[in-house]
Structure 1
């Protein structure tokens, strides 16, 4: 995966399960309100970050390619 990603967490949807932070501890952190946020808004493509997004129980994580903005997750239908 040689791409760069833009990573966003919809904090209005996030329930603070912590699954993302445990799946990709280098990619996500929980704040004192137990809301997730990406460690960096841009990052190298990562299997762990993708697994965290796919495993989010409320689909609060969105990943797009930095160049072009095409969705990585969730995929366009």
Structure 2
């Protein structure tokens, strides 16, 4: 089962790295911030890559 990520909206800067890496697990909202989709549909490795690549550590 793929890990369910959480995005801290206060930290998110809307860079879209996560949405480009894992488009089935993250999306940009109208406010320009990312949100995690439930359930995450990308692989565990993909979600972990998005967590690791977030420049402001907004994803956990």
Give 5+ residue unaligned stretches, structure 2: none
Normalising by structure 1, report the TM-score.
0.68
More strand by share: 1
Structure 1 segments, 4+ long, off by >6 Å, are none
Tell me how large the CA RMSD over aligned residues is: 1.8
**Aligned length, in residue pairs:** 60
Segments of structure 1 that go 5 or more residues without pairing to the other structure are: 63-77
TM-score, scaled relative to structure 2: 0.85
Q: Which has the higher helix share?
A: 2
User: Which residue matches 2:33?
Assistant: 35
Larger radius of gyration: 1
